[in-house]
Structures are given as structure tokens and as C-alpha cells.
Amino acid sequence: MLWRFITDFFTYETTKSVVVKSWSVGIINRVVQLLIIIYFVCWVFLHEKAYQVKDSGIESSVMTKVKGFGYHNNRVMDVADYVAPTQGAAVFCIITKLIVTEQQFQGLCPEVSPFQSRIITGACVNSSEGGRCEMEGWCPAENDKVIMQPMMEVENFTIFIKNSIRFPMFNVTRGNFPSSLNTTYIRSCTYDPEHNRHCPIFKVGDVLRYTGQNFSTIAQTGGEIGINIEWECNLDESEERCEPHYSFTRLDAVFQKNAISQGYNFRFAKYYKTENGMENRTDFRTLHKAYAIRFDILVTGLAGKFNTVPTLINLVAAFTSVGLGTVLCDIILLNFLKGADQYKAKKFEEVSESQIQILLSQESCSQLSIKPEEKISDDSGAVSLCLDQQL
């Protein structure tokens, strides 16, 4: 028993092939194999670089700074007036239009817009616009229906973007502009995808133009612009060639055709105290409703470097896939070609149950002293064979 197991174990099985000498199937087979090889070489290996190990877990830090002066409501506005928040984060707003309600005190007054969320006292009062509900809160109430010209100079403002990234898998660190850039150049350059792609200073008007937006419309209503910094790095080449690519989109484009909320705005207030005596000083505030262009700097990255593991896996996949041509050829050969039945007969050897039973009983051949390779027929006509080795 043990000996039989050992001899069974140390055997080698190989598939029996049928060689079909047909021009048509032969050509189809070779063409399919060629297409599979071209697909793996050109697309999988050269285009998709399947021989590389990839790292998309990019670590990134973004710093921004805006510069420029503008006029709004007869006042000169500088960066501290129109950028929020002021820290220079990856998400920041440039205010284009402000509706200012000055000297608001806590008290009772007529509401201006019935849609604003106020605490209504239930009383009716006369106002310059006629009868109104009385409200309790910061008075006078804000009137955001006033026509206000946006600050048109925003178009010429510049945004400085400083982005450093790291691919942790390869420990590669890069910055979005070369260390060789000097102050004179950085102060005078503006980004241009063709002539000045290393310049980290972006003109607001240019950014809006790249997204296909009209400046006067977005300045009126506000909006959200995405600046995408994409790092696609082939680290088999020099690290110096690992450079950012910028693309620009309007992120809130889907809402532009809406009847409501077409742009972007927010409110903030500056709080003061009156001067009447040290003890009973009263709080008052200036409320601002700000329409702003909100910029989101989004950083994405993918780095790849040669590695033996993906190379071997994809090579094996490629060689295995070359064999797929036979599946298609078999379908044609066994169904659509002249003499398909004969091919079928050659390819599939049919064995009936009775034959199997006879073959399974061959162990007893030796006991019955039937010679190896000797053919015996039974009553049903099935021909069986005594093999010289056990099944």
C-alpha cells in the first residue's frame, strides 16, 4: 500500500495535445496571441508601468499667501481686509463684495426680510418700508438686497502657493518650486502652463479663465474654485523630474443652474463697546455679509518605482493570458469549422461507464493472469485493456 502511494506520488502528469493543421485556426490563434502580447507590452508594462510598486499615500503641506490692493465702497482694501481665514491655509476665501450693517445693538426693531431667521415678538411695527413684524436681536436688521459693486481689482490679485510633499514608501520629499528661484523672479512671475510652469504665483483672473468662469459673475455671487496639484512621479527616473502639475476646476459648478444658493457667502461680525462710562458700557457690532471666492488647494500624488514582485506577478499573468487564444480557437474549431465533428471526436475521447468499470477492475488482471496490453471483449461488446501498470 505504502509502496503504491510512493510510486503514485513520484509521477509527472502532462496534458495530451491535439495538433490541428488548419491555416484558418492557426492564423486566428497567432493573431490572438499577438494581440495579447501587444496589450501586455504596450498597455500593461509600458503605459501602466506594471513592473513598478506604487505609493499613493502622499503626505502634503500647503501654505498660501495672497497679495494685491482693491477698492470697495470707496475704501482701499488690503490682504488683511479681504482674506479669510488669514493664516494662509490650503482653504481660504478672497472676499469680493461686502454688505456691511454698522452699529447693531441688542434690542427690538422691524425685520427687513421675512426669510431671515429672527426671533419674532409677535407685534407689528411701522418702518420706512411700511408695516413689518417686530423682531428681537441685533438691530437695525441687515438688508442684503442692497446693490453693491464687487471689488473688481481681485482679478489682478496674486496667490502664492507653497506645497511640500513626501512619498513615505520611498522617502522622497519634493517642493512645488525649485530652490534655485530667487526673490526678484518670484515677485515678478505669474504661473503659465506653457512658459512659466515653475512659478508658484497664480493670478486670480488667470485661474478663473482656466476654469472657464466669468470674473464679474463670480465676483457678484461668490463661488468655489479648486486648484489641484497633481504629483505623478516615476522614481526610476531622476527625482528632479518629479514635478507638480496644476489643474483648475469650479467645484460648485453643479449648483450654478440652481434657483437658490448659486454662489458662496458667509457672515462675520466685529464687536465693539460704547464709551458711556466704565461700568455700563454696551456691546455693539458691525455685521458683514461677505461674498467670496473660496479656493481649495487639493493635492494628489502617485509615485512608482521598479520592484521584482509586481514584475514577476505581471509576467506570469502575461504568459498565462497568451494561452487564452486557445479558448477562442476551440470555440471556432469545434463549432464553426468544416469537419467540426471530427475535430470534436479527436479532442474529446468518450469513455462509457461500463468501460470504466472494466478498467477499474484491471487490478485483477494479474490475478487472472491476463497479459498486459491484451484486449478482452465482454458480452456488451465493450473492449477493455489490461494495463501493465495499476490504475
Q: Which is nearer to ligand ATP, 96 or 101 (CB)?
A: 96
The b-or-e profile of 139-175 (16+ CB within 10 A means b, else e) is bbbbebeeeeebbebbbebbbbbebebbbebbebebe
Q: Is 309 among the annotated ligand-binding positions?
A: no
Terminal-residue alpha carbon distance, the chain: 13
Min separation Cβ 209 and ligand ATP, Å: 18
d(CA 294, CA 256): 15
d(CA 386, CA 330): 33
**Residues 6+ away with beta carbon under 8 Å from 16:** none
Min separation Cβ 159 and ligand ATP, Å: 6
Min separation Cβ 65 and ligand ATP, Å: 4
Min separation Cβ 183 and ligand ATP, Å: 5
Q: Which is nearer to ligand ATP, 190 or 247 (CB)?
A: 190
Q: Is 66 among the annotated ligand-binding positions?
A: yes
Q: Which is nearer to ligand ATP, 64 or 101 (CB)?
A: 64
Min separation Cβ 88 and ligand ATP, Å: 8
Contact 60, 338 (CB under 8 A): no
For CA atoms 208, 213, 216, 218, the dihedral sign is: negative
Q: Which is nearer to ligand ATP, 51 or 295 (CB)?
A: 295
Q: Which residue is nearest to ligand ATP (CB)?
A: 160
Q: Which is nearer to ligand ATP, 134 or 296 (CB)?
A: 296
Q: Is 21 among the annotated ligand-binding positions?
A: no
d(CA 299, CA 296): 10
d(CA 78, CA 69): 5
d(CA 216, CA 213): 9
Min separation Cβ 77 and ligand ATP, Å: 15
**Residues 6+ away with beta carbon under 8 Å from 38:** none
Site residues (CB under 6 A) for ligand ATP? 65-67, 158-160, 183, 186-187, 201
**Residues 6+ away with beta carbon under 8 Å from 296:** 90, 91, 224, 225, 226, 227, 251
Cα angle, residue 274 at apex, residues 272 and 280 outer, rounded to 5°:
120
Q: Which is nearer to ligand ATP, 186 or 368 (CB)?
A: 186
Min separation Cβ 184 and ligand ATP, Å: 9
Q: Is 170 among the annotated ligand-binding positions?
A: no
Q: Is 289 among the annotated ligand-binding positions?
A: yes
Q: Which is nearer to ligand ATP, 111 or 155 (CB)?
A: 155
Min separation Cβ 182 and ligand ATP, Å: 9
Q: Which is nearer to ligand ATP, 92 or 343 (CB)?
A: 92
Q: Is 267 among the annotated ligand-binding positions?
A: yes
Point out the annotated binding site for ATP.
Answer: 65-67, 158, 265-267, 289
Point out the annotated binding site.
Answer: 65-67, 158, 265-267, 289
